């Protein structure tokens, strides 16, 4: 490990004898993490890439060792020509286009309202808004599944009282239904991030805006939001990574509605390919595609954040 190849630290120059113990301590403190990383991160990653170039032939009724055959890019070709995989990508795109604007604008609105200074009971409000984030994903999905189920849900009953028949688990409503669960879970979390950033906006800037005659709304849009743009980009990044991994919510809802098939999202596609169809090559190729997409998006977004931060600094 490179931790052992310590270079000369300026402070330790005078105490040459203290250098080796430092190198050893540094290596010892880092070893548990990097051993773990090698076993549960690097090894699986290499395995995934390797698998995506091979197929496993379970020759003859499971007798004998399964044979590995190099197939080059055939698994990738299979993934990209599989309409169900392309559907899952399209679904994620639609999901991003609905969920990310809704949650970002909603969280910004909440944070700006909390920041106006006229909000009452702010500790209680923050607690209430943040609470869903403490609810485990599967339990959030269970709660909302029941709130969508006709007969059990007080919401559908109230809507029926208004002569509105809404089937939240129908084909046309299933994306909004999942978006709602996602928004419910993350809205308060993101608004707390924005609120923290807003509190760091220098008071003089806001004072100047007020002297110039800007009202609360104008100040929010023209002064406050630009000043917290790196937080905004970070929330965009978080919500995008989260969306790409979408799994728990559709998986649970799929128990109750035929509108969600077993290859609904890319992660569900991978699960289905690996553990239902036992096509490891296909699952590995889809995993690598999903990983590359996530990392490209993350890299692009962090570059953007870096640029924004440099702009803010200048």
Find the shortest distance in angstroms from Cβ 125 to another protein: 6
Q: Which is nearer to another protein, 113 or 304 (CB)?
A: 113
In a 13 Å sphere around the CA of 177, the CA atoms on its Cβ side amount to: 28
* Integer Cα distance of 297 and 301 in angstroms: 6
User: What phi and psi, each to the nearest 5 degrees, are found at residue 153?
Assistant: -75, 125
Chain centroid offset of residue 139 CA: 18
Joined together, the tokens standing for residue 308 give 């924004």
Q: How far is the CB of 176 from another protein (least distance, A)?
A: 15
Answer yes or no: are the C-beta atoms of 283 and 273 closer than 8 Å. yes
Rounded CA-CA distance 205/212 in Å is 11
Smallest distance from another protein to CB 25, Å: 3
Q: Which is nearer to another protein, 94 or 134 (CB)?
A: 134
CB of 266 to another protein, least distance (A): 8
Residue number, 245 or 261, with CB nearest to another protein: 245
Give whichever of 66 and 94 is closer to another protein, judged by the CB atom. Answer: 66
Minimum separation from the CB atom of position 172 to another protein (A): 21
C-alpha to C-alpha distance for 218 and 297, rounded to whole angstroms: 32
Cβ nearer to another protein, comparing 86 with 217 = 217
Angle between the N-to-C axes of helices 74-81 and 83-115, in degrees from 0 to 180, rounded to the nearest 10: 70
């Amino acid at each position: 490990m490179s931790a052992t190849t310590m270079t000369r630290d300026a402070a330790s120059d005078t105490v040459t004898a203290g250098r080796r113990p430092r190198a050893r301590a540094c290596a010892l403190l880092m070893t548990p993490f990097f051993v773990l990383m090698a076993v549960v991160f690097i090894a699986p990653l290499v395995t995934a890439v390797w698998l995506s170039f091979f197929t496993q032939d379970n020759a003859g009724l499971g007798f004998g060792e399964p044979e590995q055959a190099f197939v080059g890019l055939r698994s990738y070709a299979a993934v990209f020509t599989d309409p169900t995989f392309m559907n899952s990508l399209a679904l994620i795109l639609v999901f991003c286009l609905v969920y990310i604007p809704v949650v970002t604008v909603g969280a910004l609105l909440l944070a700006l309202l909390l920041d106006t200074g006229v909000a009452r009971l702010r500790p209680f409000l923050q607690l209430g808004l943040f609470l869903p984030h403490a609810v485990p994903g599967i339990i959030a999905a269970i709660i909302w599944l029941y709130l969508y189920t006709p007969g059990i849900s007080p919401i559908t009953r109230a809507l029926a009282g208004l002569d509105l028949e809404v089937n939240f688990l129908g084909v046309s409503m299933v994306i909004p239904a999942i978006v709602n669960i996602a928004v419910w879970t993350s809205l308060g979390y993101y608004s707390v991030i924005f609120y923290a950033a807003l509190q760091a906006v220098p008071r003089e800037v806001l004072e100047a805006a007020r002297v110039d005659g800007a009202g609360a709304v104008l100040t929010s849009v023209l002064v406050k939001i630009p000043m917290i743009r790196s937080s905004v980009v970070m929330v965009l990044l978080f919500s995008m990574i989260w969306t790409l991994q979408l799994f728990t919510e559709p998986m649970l809802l799929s128990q109750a509605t035929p509108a969600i098939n077993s290859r609904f999202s890319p992660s569900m596609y991978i699960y289905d390919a690996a553990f239902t169809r036992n096509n490891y090559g296909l699952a590995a190729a889809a995993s690598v595609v999903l990983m590359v997409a996530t990392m490209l998006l993350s890299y692009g977004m962090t570059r953007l954040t870096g640029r924004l931060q440099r702009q803010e600094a200048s």
